[in-house]
Every structure is written in structure tokens, then in C-alpha cells.
């Protein structure tokens, strides 16, 4: 079964053969889980229990789009002009030149640390990217605090 997620909501295209054929013909694979559609749009493909979902990336154009890391679903990373894109999420304010993964849940650039999961990306306010590192079992530390799941935590 194929699903398309768009501004109009979620459509099941099983019964709509013409639309299904239209999307299969018009979506071109770029790399990893990314596809280019009509009018220079870009989509991220995710899978859930055998169903494919295509999420349109807002304000992302195919002409400037490039996949940096296509080890999906864990490390899907792309750039578009001056934006870093993780899966289907634009990481606002991130620096494309210095952006790097720390591990599955965290990434950083020269000015910020980011928490990444399947539902969102979040800048960790006050975290120091120069000293941020793992101390074991989902606990991370910088010069100021300990972190778990993107939040400051007590660690003993």
C-alpha cells in the first residue's frame, strides 16, 4: 500500500489508480530516502509496517538539494543552500559546513548541539558543542550539564 502525505492530509492511494500512477511516474529517486517531485519539490520517504509515506519538505527545492549521508533511517542527512535537513525536518539555524553527527540521537555544529529523533529535531539551549560527548547509556555531558533525551538531567 502506498500513502502520500501532503498539505491536504494523508491520502490512501490504493483505490486511486490514476493518482498512484501519477506519483510513481513523477517522483524521481535522488539518493537515500529522498525523492524529487514536480515543480522542483523534494520528498522524504519513510516506511511503517510495509507502507511507504512521502513527506514534502517545506521550502526545499531540488536544484540546491544534496544528500550528505544516506544511511537511512538512522543518519539521513541532506543540505539545501544554507539549511541542514535531518530526515524530513529542517534544522533551523544550523551551519551546513560544520554540521556533524555525534551518534544516532545527537548532532552538532560549531555553535549548537541538536537532539534528533523520529518525530522532531531540537536545539539544546545552552549546550556547549566543543565539550559535548557521551558518558554512556543515553547520558551525555558538556562542561555545564548532563543530558538525557535532549533534556538536562541529574547524573550520579
Instruction: Quote the number of domains for the chain.
Output: 1
Is residue 44 included in any domain, yes or no? no
Q: 29 or 119, which is more confident?
A: 29
pTM: 0.75
Q: Which domain holds residue 106?
A: 96-156
Average pLDDT over residues 48-68: 85
Burial class (CB in 10 A: 0-12, 13-18, 19+), 113: buried
Is residue 7 included in any domain, yes or no? no
Q: Measure the CA–CA gap between 45 and 29, rounded to whole angstroms.
A: 10
Is residue 69 scored above 80 in pLDDT? Answer: no
Q: 142 or 74, which is more confident?
A: 142
Q: Measure the CA–CA gap between 63 and 72, rounded to whole angstroms.
A: 22
Q: Which residue has the cell 511507504?
A: 52
| pLDDT band per the 50, 70, 90 thresholds, residue 83 | confident
Average pLDDT over residues 73-88: 81
Is residue 17 included in any domain, yes or no? no
Is residue 49 included in any domain, yes or no? no
Is residue 110 included in any domain, yes or no? yes
Amino acid at each position: 500500500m502506498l500513502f502520500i502525505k501532503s498539505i491536504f492530509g494523508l491520502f490512501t492511494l490504493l483505490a486511486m489508480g490514476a493518482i498512484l500512477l501519477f506519483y510513481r511516474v513523477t517522483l524521481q529517486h535522488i539518493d537515500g530516502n529522498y525523492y524529487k517531485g514536480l515543480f522542483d519539490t523534494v520528498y522524504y520517504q519513510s516506511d511503517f509496517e510495509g507502507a511507504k509515506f512521502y513527506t514534502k519538505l517545506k521550502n526545499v527545492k531540488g536544484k540546491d538539494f544534496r544528500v550528505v549521508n544516506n544511511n537511512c533511517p538512522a543518519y539521513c542527512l541532506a543540505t539545501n543552500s544554507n539549511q541542514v535537513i535531518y530526515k524530513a525536518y529542517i534544522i533551523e539555524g544550523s551551519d551546513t559546513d560544520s554540521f556533524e553527527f555525534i551518534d544516532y540521537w545527537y548532532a552538532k555544529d560549531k555553535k549548537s548541539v541538536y537532539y534528533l529523533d523520529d518525530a522532531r529535531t531540537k536545539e539544546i539551549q545552552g549546550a556547549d558543542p566543543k565539550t559535548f560527548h557521551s558518558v554512556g547509556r543515553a547520558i551525555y555531558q558538556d562542561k555545564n550539564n548532563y543530558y538525557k533525551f535532549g533534556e538536562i538531567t541529574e547524573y550520579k
